[in-house]
Amino acid sequence: MADQTPPQLWQTTTPVEFSPKLNDNTQVQALLISTRQGAGFEVAAGQVSHAIGSRATQVLLDFTAAGCAMRYLIDGQWEQLPPLDRETGDGMLFALKQLCLLNPADRRSAQSGSVDIKLKKAKFELRLQSQGVPTGERVLLRLESNEVPFSTLGDLGMRDKMVSAFKARLNDEADIVLITAPKSEGLTTTWNVSINAADRLVRDFQSFEDEARPEPDIINITPNFYGGSTGLSADEAVRKAILKEPDVFLFPELVDPETFQRAALQIDKAEKKIITRVVAGGAVEGLVRLIAKYPDQRKSIADKVSGVLGQRLVRRLCDNCKLGFQPPPQLLQQLGIPPGRVAMLYQPFVPPPIEQQVDENGRPAPITPCHNCQGRGYFGRIGIFELLSPGPQLRDALTKTQDLGRLNAIAKSEGFHGVQTEAVLTVARGLTSLDELKRAFAKKQ
């Protein structure tokens, strides 16, 4: 009798190809041959492929005596998958650790490594972090595409009017621009797209980066590395770059006060510009954090900051299966949308309970999940942005208080539209749902 056991997820996809990060091609081939001989290689290649096909950006593996629990992070939401038995999971992890040049036998120590992977023509980097825990071992796999899925600020979800205003800030002279986002909410992506949108083809942009954490290459951006094998401090790297008379100083990470002050002095002396970024829950909070990092430069920063970009990520409604509905007048009033301005709002398609999925004769007729979003109702994420251009009252208040409530109130009195206002516009544009906004804004930042 034929085996009726359904295939496991790793058996249902085209396996990825692994490229270990070794300089010697002979060593690469030897490692691949050695790893293929293990029982876990096919599992690893298939499971990683399935994760990519599911649009997962992270995979969490929890190893216990009972087996290997598995979750995918898709559009910022964790989804539980069927577990692997312990033997299969162990084999998969053994292979992945080998390919990431780690010690597969060590199940207790903290380890991290990476390997390049390819699925058809798409290229990714898989980063593995593992740590022994009381119940066994926890492993996080991050899957990062080599292709940036967004090329413009509009692709990220920014409205055309804000795109124009933000580009004007990026291309001004003699000021500071700050880009912020909460942790794990797309700060790196927004930074890269923003820098690409700046006038880097007509001005000299110099970026200052820790050698251990280099930024992706961007055309016409010159990296200046410090730390590691360079033997340079951040301050020395900036001093050397000043001799080249750059127009714009980029700081992907906040540097020490002396270094930042050296760059900031160039704003006054030679009308240079600083663009930097910080993790924060909003634009006003980001500005407060920047000043808190450099308290001796509080007034100077408050005077020189021309724009602060803040963002939140929400899931984007699936265009293939989203459902429109006519909003009642009281709902539009609650949202602050004028009557007659929006005829339709949208929500995700949620199938009825399985017992209600029947045809006209009452016979079972299961609804086929949307082929685009696999029945999630959402596909990808979109940014909701706020752009703060400090007015005189806010600049003055920043030198006297760090009270976010008070500072936000002053900013709004000077015309600042916070991310909540922009969120309503995102709903009105049919890009996300009210339920998704409630979920996203209920999260602790």
CB 177 within 8 A of CB 249: no
Q: Is 132 exposed, middle or buried (0-12, 13-18, 19+ CB in 10 A)?
A: middle
CA atoms within 13 A on the CB side of 79: 15
Same domain (yes/no): 106, 222? no
State the first-to-last Cα distance of the chain, in angstroms, to the nearest integer: 56
Q: Give the mean pLDDT of 403-413.
A: 96
Q: Classify residue 374: in a domain, yes or no.
A: no
Closest CA to 194 of 214, 173, 213, 177: 177
Say if residue 345's pLDDT is above 50.
Answer: yes
Same domain (yes/no): 139, 47? yes
d(CA 399, CA 395): 7
Q: Classify residue 350: in a domain, yes or no.
A: no
Helix (H) or strand (E) holding 357: none
**Domain with 56 in it: what CATH number?**
3.30.450.90
Say if residue 283's pLDDT is above 60.
Answer: yes
Same domain (yes/no): 99, 167? no
Query: Domain boundary at 92, 117, 145, which?
Result: 145
Q: Which two tokens stand for residue 47?
A: 């499971």
**Which pLDDT does position 340 carry in this prediction?**
81
Same domain (yes/no): 138, 216? no
Q: Classify residue 375: in a domain, yes or no.
A: no
Same domain (yes/no): 86, 47? yes
Say if residue 1's pLDDT is above 50.
Answer: no
Q: Which two tokens stand for residue 305?
A: 């900051």
Same domain (yes/no): 41, 71? yes
Cα torsion 161, 164, 166, 168 to 10°: value is -150
**Which pLDDT does position 364 carry in this prediction?**
82
Neighbours of 255 (CB within 10 A): 24
Q: What is the mean pLDDT of the chain?
A: 93
Number of domains within the chain: 2
CB 395 within 8 A of CB 411: no
CB 239 within 8 A of CB 264: no
Same domain (yes/no): 176, 28? no
Strand order from edge to edge, sheet including 273-279: 221-226, 205-210, 248-251, 273-279, 176-181, 305-317, 378-388
Query: Domain boundary at 111, 145, 179, which?
Result: 145
Closest CA to 189 of 383, 353, 49, 433: 383
Same domain (yes/no): 185, 124? no
Q: Classify residue 241: in a domain, yes or no.
A: yes
**Domain with 425 in it: what CATH number?**
3.40.50.300
Query: Domain boundary at 121, 145, 169, which?
Result: 145
Same domain (yes/no): 238, 157? yes
Same domain (yes/no): 136, 186? no
Query: Which amino acid appears at position 44 of this protein?
Result: A
Owning domain of residue 59: 9-145
Which three-class secondary structure state does DSSP give residue 128? strand
Same domain (yes/no): 266, 306? yes
Q: Give the mean pLDDT of 85-90.
A: 96
CA atoms within 13 A on the CB side of 415: 5
Same domain (yes/no): 297, 401? yes
Rounded to two decimals, the pTM is: 0.86
Q: Which two tokens stand for residue 67?
A: 């087996």
**Which pLDDT does position 353 carry in this prediction?**
84
